[in-house]
Amino acid sequence: MHRTIVLAISTVALTAAGSAFADSPKLKGAYGFTGTAACLVAPGHIPADSNPNPGTPLPNSGFKPSLQPNDATPGGTQSSFARSFSVEGIRTFDGHGNGTVKGTVVGIVTRPTPGPGGYPNFPPSASGGDFSFSFTYTVNPDGSWDSAMVPGSYSETFTSGPRMGQTAIVDAIPPLHGMVSQDGKTLIAAHLDPVVETHVFSNGDAYPEICHRSRVFIKLQDTDDDDRGRGRD
């Protein structure tokens, strides 16, 4: 009898714990974040001064199935380069699987860069800008969470560097996967797979790239009702 009672109590406790964990934490409100990233960019290369089809990647741009740049051939001109950047901003969760991101970015492009001659062709540089996008998200029963950018929602404006005054879009930032702290006030996230994304600039440049990103988020305020925290994206 005693063993039966203990098993029954254990079963109820485990069921309750599992149910509570599945329901909580429910991501809602504003989270501040910082993070770093780096990208391998494969813009391709042609003997011209500019992109003949502005906004469209060059035919020899992008990546092979091996995730190496398409123009990485023996004896050929290789135009791939690396860029890295840090970000700071606020990610707002609406509590129903949707949200917005606004932030700032500071980045550098180091040697070697494409050139000399042909397109693209530019020296190393640094830059800064502002960006925003919308996203969807889910919180999983195991305490992890997943997020995906809403296609077409990304926008970026350069505030310093050689692209100052230009804008840019990204077709789709790859999904993020992360974990939620027990109290729901701290999140972490990163990409789990290398995925090709395309960065398109207002001057006509269109560069396929593969990036890795990591983010840490902290809760900025409580949003127990639907009105608190609105307008702070």
Sequential pLDDT tens for the chain (233 residues): 444 444 443 443 334 333 333 443 579 999 999 999 999 999 999 999 999 999 999 999 999 999 999 988 777 678 999 999 999 999 999 999 999 999 999 999 999 999 888 999 999 999 999 999 999 999 999 999 999 999 999 999 999 999 999 999 999 999 999 999 999 999 999 999 999 999 999 999 999 999 999 999 999 976 554 443 343 33
- From 49, 7, 20, select the one nearest 182 (Cα to Cα): 20
Torsion region of 117: left, alpha or beta (phi above 0 gives left; psi -120 to 50 gives alpha)? left
Please answer whether residues 102 and 132 qualify as being in contact, where contact means their C-beta atoms are separated by less than 8 angstroms. yes
The reported pLDDT for the residue numbered 108 is 98
The reported pLDDT for the residue numbered 41 is 98
205 CB-near residues (< 8 Å, 6+ apart)? 43, 51, 120, 199
- The domains located in the chain, with CATH, are 27-219 (2.40.160)
The reported pLDDT for the residue numbered 220 is 96
d(CA 9, CA 18): 14
Alpha carbon distance, N-terminus to C-terminus of the chain: 57
Q: What value, to the nearest 5°, has the Cα angle with vertex 87 and ends 131 and 34?
A: 125
d(CA 96, CA 226): 11
DSSP codes joined into one string, the chain: -HHHHHHHHHHHHHHHHHHHHHH-S--EEEEEEEEEEEEEE----BSSSS-SSTTS--TT-SB-TTSSBTT--TTS----EEEEEEEEEEEEEESSSEEEEEEEEEEEE-SS-S-SSSBS----EEEEEEEEEEEEEEE-TTSEEEEEEPTT--EEEEEESTTTT-EEEES-PPPEEEEE-TTSSEEEEE-SS--EEEEEETTS-EEEEEEEEEEEEEE-S---SSSTTTT--
The reported pLDDT for the residue numbered 217 is 98
Q: What is the pTM of this model?
A: 0.83
The reported pLDDT for the residue numbered 74 is 76
